[in-house]
Structure 1
Amino acid sequence: MKAQPTATTRPLRGRARITSFAAFVVLAALIPTTASATGSQEVEAELPYVCTLPSGQLPATVRVLAEFPERAGAGEAFTPSDVTITVELPAEAVADLTAHDAAEVRAATRLTVDVAQNSATATATWRGGSEPVALPGSGPLTLVTQGDVPSVAGRSDGDLTFSAGALAIDLALGAADPAGADPGSLTVDCALAEDAPEQGLLATVPVSAGGPGASGSPSPSGSASASDPAGDGQSDTPGSQAEERQSERSPKVVENTPGTAADRAVPPCLFDEQHPPTDASLAAYITGYTNVRKQKAASYLPPSCMLIEQGDPVAGPPDPEAIIFDTVSWADFGYQGRRQTPPFRSTFLSFDFAPVTATMVLEQTAPIRIDSRLKFYFLKGLTTMDTYVRAPLVLHVTSLEVNGTPLEVGSECRTDGSLTSVDPDPVNHPGDHLVLYGRGEQITGQDVTGYKLLSGGTLTGEAAIPAFTGCGSDGEDLDRLLTASVSGPGNYIKQVQGQTCALGAPVFPGPNTDGQCTEDLQPIVIPVAER
């Protein structure tokens, strides 16, 4: 892309009945209903922690909310969903932050979760991020984060337990005086308090070979004993064989594995005459879900092509603890020469009997801006990457069917402006646009975790959906109907970007690599949407 300089159907009786019926069901056509699946358990745990701050060790309260399946099958991977981590730090912690001349703080949490089955264990890291929070004038500071959670699979019969462990909180501080010095950042390490109930137990998921629908207790073959802790009919042996078998028995913690372009039908993702490639050009697929708060539902965005022109890094503001580089990149959706997503259809049963299908696209009104900040902490051997994606996008409804009967929405049915978010820097980024945020980290010698523009990852945000305009035909005005049903604030968004294909230095599949680019320079990796 160019870099920017700056069921059996029954006929309805008459048009009036169609419109009246649609008034109740049209929203679901826009956003497919996604009620919680049966067989799930909601977990809410409140745990005491001790956190180390500049003023010393201070008590903190950590609340973990998540949803787990009631049961799972052996070898069946599942992902805890709707994970929210709330940290309440005491007033003394606020004093530590204001001493840095900070007025607000953005948090990123890394919660270590111990996963155990019989005597075997594994470790998962639950990551989350928050929007900026103003520091209170008095009292405690409450931080609420949401983010990535790996999938987990039990290897055999037996309960799979999840227990909270160490917690790290990365705090990016915002200055009280915009013209003053950057207050920098702070990492707070927290440990589970000794009096924590049940050693931080969050959830227990029974696992059996019969799968989630199996009843009764796990089979005897899944039972553990002192001499056969894994229940596999073999006793432990010394040395590497025992370690290898222990690893094979351990619960499997996996990131949601992306596929490749050959695995599923996706639109092409190629630069063209409208987007002439350069050595700084990147191509990537993005997919995910967008909630609609009014209907407690979510809409799936299929894999869509993003064409990105990466900017050059420049030195950022001074920081006593880190060297900073800032990069501004620009992006467009690419679909058949237009700056939009592919059309996506949603079909469901409204009121459990009325099939409704809608077709929609997201359209750009201006280039998408990507702001990335890298911080190199040499003493810590740590690099952090904070990325903000600012996208002006309108939602366009192109067709609608209710009970098999088309409902005319017209050719110009769309939101009256872009989906909007609260921008953390409105002075430098005015106007209506969606804001998505991603954070990545890399410890020297290790792989990147979280989001990075080149390697991809998860981006999250919250949007307000504007009122609708131009909806209806033949004198029927559906604007107010759609606005009342859909529009409003507080709609959570979670998008996953795949590994980019860098046109300037393409990596093709080979003996020692899965590759990043096809022979015609399209991205190989197709990300998997996460809720």
Structure 2
Amino acid sequence: MRGPGPTPRPSRVRARGAAIAAFVALAPLLPAAAVAVGTLKVDTSLPYVCTLPSGQQSATVRITAAFPDRAAPGEEIKATDVTTTVELPAAADLRASLGSAVRAETRLTVDVAQNEQRAQATWSGTAQSLDVPAEGPLVLTTTGDVPALTTDTTGDLTLTAAGLALDLAPGTTGDAPTAPASLSVTCVPGQDAGGRTLLATVPVGAGTREPSTPPPSPSAPSASPSSRPSSPSGRTVPVMPGTAAGPVPKAPRNGQQADRGRGPTVTEEDTPGTPAARPAAPPCVTEKPTPTSLAAYITGYSNVRKLNGANIIPVSCVLIEQGEPVFDPRPDGSFHLLTPSTGHLSYQGRKQTPPFKATFLTFDFAPATATMVLEQIGTMTVDSDVLLVFPDNLSETYIRARFVLRVLDVRVNGTRLDVGPDCRTEKPLGSPEPDPAKYPGDHLVLLGKGQLINGTDATGYLLTGGGPLTGEVTIPAFKGCGAGGENLDRLLTASISGPGNYIKQIQGQTCAVGVEVPTEGQCTEDRQPYVVPKPER
């Protein structure tokens, strides 16, 4: 990173409001047979308002899940059999936008509360491709992993449905000659729901069994903090408020110590088979690997020129499908080896980075901290070109991807600035494109250069070996920022948006996921990248 100015601290546990620590991470669903006898069934239909291409429409969201009907302090509380069914009334409108088939992903924000403590979690789900009816409603049902909860204090733990994000993409169909663009739909609880809807209340403490006592059924016992495995790879990730409806905890009075009881949290379990020497990193798993599947971690810095500073982009997982190499002789007598590949970021089942924080001095005097994510749209292309010149082989790799910068939370001088649930750049980030005729539109471009000298180690960047990738990015104007009638678009645009922002990313060595016996030192036992890179300026 070339730019001066303060750099942000990495994401870590922070005090929120009454100084409670709130964490979130994915936890696998328990099988249905593992649900204890004392089970609280949830099956509720909620009124929502969704913003579709034709405008705001009323929709019905049905949520089903099963919770334990009680828990002891420190005992895991896992929701099982979770489904989210969304009934959208304007199927014809969506058919015009997406085609005759559609795939869906949902992200339901769930507010978790206990006594004066608050946290947020995201329930993610996916659906298989289904036909869009020519008339009548479109009904989408998604399933997926949800966070597991723990709390060290007693009292009723409540879970309340808040904002819902619905991502729609063209499905498998023979009717559409071209693939229409994807569509993101934002939904909020309707007025009939009072803006928020209670899903479940789980009593914690009085009248419950001790965590060490086996449950009165043959189901698998939940793990208490003392029984959970621990290793250097275990980690927790802060909850990042993402909806305007999210509760704001009360701040402690002056001189008053923070509440020592830890509120509702979610702990990410250690990755099985991860060597102790490997640094902590988000899961990076290829669900259905092929012989050409690669996985790698990437991290680095990005300047924000207007703020005269830089922010760190956290360690992120990228999954790549390597293409077939093509030998390309040129009219000038040179020989090139071209390898086209595709890929995408992967975080908790979504194509995005983990949430990251950036701290700057806005207008040169006001400290501001923003929590953001980079959300990928479409497919990432990775084009490697090796110029075969004996004894030196020169390599250039262009990585192109469309990313929208989404802002989840902003604090100025420690005071929360409510940006709402849908604050993001109005279009993807843009970079200077060396071949605009072949690659039109706004997208990020990163370039990695390497050299392979016969008989020696490679230097610079190679797709399989990793290395530095650099580029320049324009941050577009923001839209959808603000809540309660307050429009903050112009404020964020004036503070952040603009061209000439230098970016430097470091990719680690890839793991050949689909190889039967991966090369030692490249993959963990469960086929995740072994190398976790460190950001470089």
Using the size of structure 2 for normalisation, the TM-score is: 0.47
Instruction: Write 1 or 2 for the structure with the bigger share of helix.
Output: 1
